[in-house]
């Protein structure tokens, strides 16, 4: 419940106005699809609650192929790095969950994301980086958890997925009952027609969700700078600059939701410039003392 209250409060931010409008339109669309205000609102609220719960985090991890660390060499290397950054992040912001877990994806491109309140996922592409650079990346992701900007993607992507599943189940049982009531031959024909119509509606919801995901990515660009600043404050400013600079050396090959997550990030040079300003300001303050 606290997550939902926090989420609604953050929708008031100027950068999230587009998302707020999308969710209002989404609500109207859902009511139209189900054809009943009470039923549509009830199922939409259920889908949002599930999306903002550990179930939503689990679904997003499943979509992006993020799994718990299993190999001993991965655990031996990444767990100490994660624990070190986790401790520093908690000192910076005690409101970060006590149960954040690290996951890994087989994606070969270096990427990472945080979602919900308890999930950080790295791709195997980051195994090629130095330990200090991995720690800087983890610090950036803890910055997202600290800023609590990790729920938007869950609400739009996972929330609409759950809603689509609920719609399919609802319509399936409704059509089965209707087909039996209408007789075998007549009921079967009506069932087939209604099924194809419902699949078209589900397809439209999928396209609509793509638009919502794009809005989330656009809205989240400013959040990247805030997460960079958090990484700087916990001591990984220079290391994060090195990570960002490496992104200029090649084109990151990502697909699906990973591609959307990557597209949400501002140009690396712009992020580096802001980090350099923070580092220089800090150095000037030290020298003045």
Please indicate whether residue 266 or residue 191 has the higher confidence score (pLDDT).
Answer: 266
Question: Is this model's pTM higher than 0.85 or not?
Answer: no
83 shares a domain with 32:
no
Give the end of a domain, one of 187, 219, 251: 219
- CA 78 to CA 51: how far, in whole Å? 28
Whether 247 and 203 map to the same domain: the answer is no
Q: What mean pLDDT comes out for the span 187-202?
A: 69
224 occurs within a structural domain = no
Residue 93 has, within 13 A of its CA and on its CB side, a CA count of: 19
Q: Of 169, 198, 219, which residue constitutes the final position of a domain?
A: 219
| Assigned domain for 168 exists | yes
In tens, the pLDDT along 142-172 reads 999 998 888 888 888 888 888 888 888 877 7
Query: What confidence score (pLDDT) does residue 205 get?
Result: 82
Instruction: Please count the structural domains in the chain.
Output: 2
Q: What's 74's domain CATH number?
A: 3.30.2010.10
The pLDDT-based confidence of 196 (bands split at 50, 70, 90) is confident
Confidence of residue 181 (pLDDT cuts 50, 70, 90): low
Rounded to whole angstroms, what are the CA distances from 58 to 95, 103, 200?
22, 11, 27
- Residue 32 lies in domain: 2-61+152-219
Q: Are 144 and 236 in a shared domain?
A: yes
Residues 8 and 57 in one domain: yes
pLDDT digits (tens, 9 = 90+) for 9-27: 666 666 677 777 888 888 8
User: Are residues 141 and 247 located together in one domain of the fold?
Assistant: yes
Give CA–CA dist 89/4, Å, rounded. Answer: 23
209 and 95, same structural domain? no
């Amino acid at each position: 419940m606290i997550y939902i209250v926090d989420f609604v409060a953050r929708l008031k931010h100027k950068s999230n106005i587009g998302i707020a409008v999308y969710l209002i339109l989404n609500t109207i669309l859902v009511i139209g699809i189900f054809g009943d205000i009470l039923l549509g609102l009830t199922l939409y609220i259920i889908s949002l609650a599930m999306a903002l719960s550990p179930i939503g985090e689990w679904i997003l991890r499943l979509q992006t192929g993020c799994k718990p660390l299993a190999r001993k060499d991965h655990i031996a290397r990444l767990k100490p790095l994660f624990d070190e950054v986790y401790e520093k992040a908690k000192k910076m912001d005690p409101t970060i969950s006590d149960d954040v877990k690290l996951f890994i994806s087989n994606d070969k491109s270096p990427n990472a994301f945080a979602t919900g309140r308890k999930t950080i996922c790295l791709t195997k592409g980051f195994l090629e980086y130095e330990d200090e650079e991995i720690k800087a990346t983890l610090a950036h992701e803890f910055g997202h958890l600290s800023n609590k900007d990790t729920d938007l993607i869950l609400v739009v992507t996972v929330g609409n997925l759950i809603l689509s599943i609920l719609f399919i189940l609802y319509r399936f049982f409704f059509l089965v009952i209707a087909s039996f009531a209408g007789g075998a031959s007549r009921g079967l024909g009506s069932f087939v027609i209604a099924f194809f119509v419902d699949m078209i509606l589900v397809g439209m919801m999928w396209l609509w969700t793509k638009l919502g995901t794009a809005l989330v990515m656009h809205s989240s660009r400013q959040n990247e700078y805030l997460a960079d600043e958090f990484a700087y404050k916990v001591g990984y400013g220079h290391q994060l600059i090195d990570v960002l600079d490496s992104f200029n050396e090649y084109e990151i090959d990502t697909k699906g939701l990973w591609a959307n997550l990557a597209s949400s990030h501002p140009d690396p040079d712009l992020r580096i410039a802001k980090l350099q300003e923070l580092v220089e300001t800090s150095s000037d303050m030290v020298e003045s003392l």
